């Protein structure tokens, strides 16, 4: 009965503009804690959700709440456990031994929490290592969390683990693992060289999709640390014939154009791609036009014919308007002010460790374990609830232990019937 009253009050409070209809005080807290172990599992969820909004008056009261709530972590119903975790977010880690579906919900919530408080699990990296029998969606979520937890102290341990993942049979997971190595290099500058060495080891495996993903990742590392790892460019160029994916080709073309002055046969490599320009993906064509212009700006005497060929092909034989427009812009820019073209550069890439839904990070920890954090979307403000209960009657339920009325009459303003009130 207490749980049903709590549910009704919580709904009314949620729809209220002031949010002050259902405020838990010390006497109410005592009754809720007593009822917690005596109600159904759904009643426990309602009470625990309400308790998540309560701030203890002192440490003694907080300890009392902990003593009452901790046993709920052993409940057979996962929803009860998740509701209890609203009071203690760190206990989400205990769910990583549960069924995959429950693990995923826990991991999504941990992911959100770490974006706001990355230090709280800084020493728990090993807990998130992937198991061989984890479903793909659990593995990918663990990867994201491990990247957020990466720091100078645990980076070697993490790189060793990611390198191991790169040898698994799940191609998508392998690709994400290789990308994770690149994200670590961008995030932790002190460990970037170690990350690059791991990527080179993966390139030397000659596994096609691993090599191509590593080249894509290294391009981002070059953007973050310009001219720092030029020594590995020859190794990348040796794998030119193995590339068959547009993103990998575009990445290598970007590297060739960006470091054309460091590559002796840069013009020959660009010509190789120009020979198949019409057959390439638009992503590759765009990057090839840009790289050719970069090559011309760095070696104007020997590459004039190459840039003319590239721009002519892009403007007259290409159906894609984006590619044609870019070629026209470059042509006009080179014709009027080559120095201006030389001055335009891409900005260095930055580490991305936070969600782009900033408002989601402003939610209270009581919002964890709800669809808000699982789907990374904010609750709709368009949903409304029109209260039909007499709020005062519901509040009286916590202060009157002897309500015995059995009359059934309508309250003013379509209020809740006395029969429902008397259930308490």
248-269 tens-digit pLDDT = 999 999 999 999 888 888 999 9
Boundary residue ending a domain (344, 377, 404): 344
Q: pTM of this prediction?
A: 0.69
Query: Has residue 50 been placed in a domain?
Result: yes
Query: Has residue 175 been placed in a domain?
Result: no
The pLDDT of residue 408 is above 70: no
294-338 tens-digit pLDDT = 999 888 888 889 999 999 999 998 889 999 999 999 888 888 866
Q: Are residues 330 and 249 in the same domain?
A: yes
Neighbouring CB atoms inside 10 A of 190's CB total: 9
Q: Quick one: what percent of the chain has pLDDT higher than 90?
A: 39
DSSP code string of 15-36: H-SS--SS---HHHHHHHHHHH
Query: Has residue 394 been placed in a domain?
Result: yes
Query: Has residue 126 been placed in a domain?
Result: no
Q: Quick one: what percent of the chain has pLDDT higher than 70?
A: 79
With beta carbons less than 8 A apart as the criterion, state whether 80 and 49 touch.
Answer: no
Query: Has residue 13 been placed in a domain?
Result: yes
Query: Has residue 379 been placed in a domain?
Result: no
Mean per-residue pLDDT over the chain, rounded = 80
The tokens for 36 are 């917690």
Range of 75's domain? 1-85+388-424
Q: Confidence class of residue 288 from pLDDT cuts 50, 70 and 90?
A: very high
210-237 tens-digit pLDDT = 999 999 999 999 999 988 898 999 999 9
pLDDT for position 389: 42
Neighbouring CB atoms inside 10 A of 409's CB total: 9
State the alpha helices, DSSP H only, in 86-207: 100-116, 136-149, 155-165, 171-187, 192-203
What's the domain count of the chain?
Answer: 2
Boundary residue ending a domain (281, 314, 344): 344
Neighbouring CB atoms inside 10 A of 133's CB total: 7
Q: Are residues 322 and 250 in the same domain?
A: yes
Query: Has residue 6 been placed in a domain?
Result: yes
Boundary residue ending a domain (283, 316, 344): 344
Query: Has residue 104 been placed in a domain?
Result: no
The residue among 172 and 347 whose pLDDT is bigger is 172
Q: What is d(CA 222, CA 235) in angstroms, rounded to the nearest whole number?
A: 14
């Amino acid at each position: 009965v207490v749980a049903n009253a709590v549910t009704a009050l919580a709904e009314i409070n949620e729809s209220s503009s002031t949010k002050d209809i259902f405020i838990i005080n010390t006497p109410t807290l005592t009754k809720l804690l007593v009822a917690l172990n005596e109600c159904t599992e759904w009643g426990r969820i309602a009470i625990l959700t309400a308790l998540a909004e309560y701030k203890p008056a002192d440490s003694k009261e907080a300890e009392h709440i902990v003593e009452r709530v901790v046993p709920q972590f052993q409940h057979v119903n996962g929803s009860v456990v998740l509701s209890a975790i609203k009071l203690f977010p760190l206990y989400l880690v205990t769910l990583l031994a549960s069924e995959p579906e429950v693990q995923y919900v826990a991991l999504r919530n941990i992911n959100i929490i770490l974006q706001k408080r990355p230090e709280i699990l800084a020493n728990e990296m090993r807990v998130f290592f992937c198991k061989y029998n984890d479903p793909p969606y659990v593995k990918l979520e663990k990867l994201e969390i491990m990247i957020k937890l990466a720091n100078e102290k645990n980076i070697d341990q993490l790189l060793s683990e990611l390198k191991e993942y790169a040898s698994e049979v799940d191609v998508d997971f392998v690709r994400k693992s290789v990308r994770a190595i690149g994200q670590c290099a961008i995030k932790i500058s002190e460990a970037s060289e170690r990350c690059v060495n791991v990527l080179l080891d993966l390139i030397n495996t000659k596994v096609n999709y691993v090599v191509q993903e590593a080249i894509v990742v290294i391009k981002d590392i070059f953007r973050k640390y310009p001219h720092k790892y030029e020594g590995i460019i020859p190794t990348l160029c040796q794998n030119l014939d193995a590339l068959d994916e547009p993103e990998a080709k575009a990445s290598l073309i970007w590297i060739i154009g960006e470091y054309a002055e460091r590559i002796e046969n840069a013009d020959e490599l660009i010509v190789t791609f120009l020979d198949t320009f019409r057959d390439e993906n638009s992503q590759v064509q765009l990057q090839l036009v840009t790289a050719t212009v970069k090559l011309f700006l760095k070696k104007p005497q020997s590459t004039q014919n190459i840039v003319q060929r590239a721009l002519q092909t892009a403007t007259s034989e290409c159906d894609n308007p984006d590619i044609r427009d870019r070629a026209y812009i470059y042509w006009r820019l080179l014709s009027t002010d080559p120095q201006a073209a030389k001055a335009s550069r891409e900005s260095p890439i930055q580490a991305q460790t936070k969600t782009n839904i900033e408002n989601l990070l402003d939610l209270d920890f009581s919002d964890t374990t709800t669809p808000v954090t699982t789907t990374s979307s904010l609750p709709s403000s368009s949903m409304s609830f029109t209260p039909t209960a007499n709020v005062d009657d519901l509040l009286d339920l916590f202060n009157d232990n002897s309500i015995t009325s059995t009359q059934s009459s309508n309250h003013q303003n379509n209020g809740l019937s006395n029969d429902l009130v008397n259930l308490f």
